[in-house]
Amino acid sequence: MLVGLVLLAGYAARVVQPKAVAAGYPPITKGQRVWFALGFVGIWAASDWPVHDIAEDYLYSVHMLQHLLLSMLIPAAFVLATPRWLFELLIPEGSRTRRLFRAGSKPLVAGLIFNALTAFLHWSKVVQLSADSGPVHFGLHLAVFTAGLLMWMPVIGPVTEWRLSPLGQCIYLFMMSILPTVPGGWLVFAEDVVYRHYDTVDRLWGIDVLTDQQAAGAIMKLVGGFVLWVIILTIFTKWAVAETGADRAERQARHHQQILDLDASASDLTFEAVADVFEQSPAPSETGR
């Protein structure tokens, strides 16, 4: 999978990009290259040893961190790394895939899919089934990654027309930060073992099962929420600065226009105009001399 990802990126950069640039699209930016590298390293770290083995067989807290990477952080990196021309190449305009992707990436639908899948994955029977079956395990990871891609489209997607306004993005991400606190709090305050698969005799690093479970809930409740709130504050700050700058520019333009209007009025004040005013005015009274 990772090899195919690298080959696809190399083909897009070397073969497709020149044609896209010739058609009027911007080239791949340095930032997009950095985001791709971060996404690649992230998915490699989350899917390979030792994170994968520890997450699946020993510590649910590491499993939660892996889930956070696959569902939120890594999808965000790949969305930011994708230029629009590559998105349109992979999901062509007018195709059935494009229509399905568009429907799934609408804010309400994407939010429901992401949060419903998150809740489903924390059902104890699903956790056990994922641990017992390799295909189910891989399918669930692919599902959360896809849900993460859909979730980020209204905020940072390559198709700018699909994005929400800055305030809409803040409200959307705020709503996304609420639901994970429910299962997270449940794990933190649970007095018994929730997932029997992780209740093993051999405890890694001496971490007991309840402490591991509480740490998993804290990661879900605090770390995921912290990431979303940092993004919310960043978006809001940029929006506020842009609005303040636009208001200042509008005031300056209005003030400049007033000055131009005064200059124009002053230029109309000619000698002939002043003489006409004097001629039309009554002579001063000589009373009081």
Return the HEC string of 35-81.
HHHHHHHHHHHHHCCCHHHHHHHCCHHHHHHHHHHHHHHHHHHHHHH
- Under 8 Å CB-to-CB from 113, ≥6 apart: which residues? 104, 147, 150, 151
Amino acid at 71: S
The amino acid at residue 254 is: R
The pair of three-digit structure tokens given for residue 191, joined into one six-digit string: 């007095």
Distance CA 40, CA 160 (A): 24
pLDDT confidence of residue 259: 77
What's the pTM? Answer: 0.84
Tokens linked to 109: 């639908």
Distance CA 113, CA 234 (A): 25
In the numeric block, which tokens belong to residue 210? Answer: 């309840």
Domain boundaries defined on the chain: 2-246
Quick one: pLDDT at residue 178? 86
Question: pLDDT tens digits for the chain (289 residues)?
Answer: 778 888 888 999 999 999 999 999 999 999 999 999 999 999 999 999 899 999 998 999 999 999 999 999 999 999 999 999 999 999 999 999 999 999 999 999 999 999 999 889 988 999 999 989 989 999 999 999 999 999 999 999 999 999 999 999 999 999 998 877 777 888 888 889 999 899 987 888 989 999 999 999 999 888 888 999 999 999 999 999 998 888 788 888 887 777 776 666 665 556 565 566 556 656 555 554 4
Torsion angle (degrees, nearest 10) of CA 173, 144, 103, 180: -30
pLDDT of residue 288: 46
Whole-number pLDDT of residue 185: 83
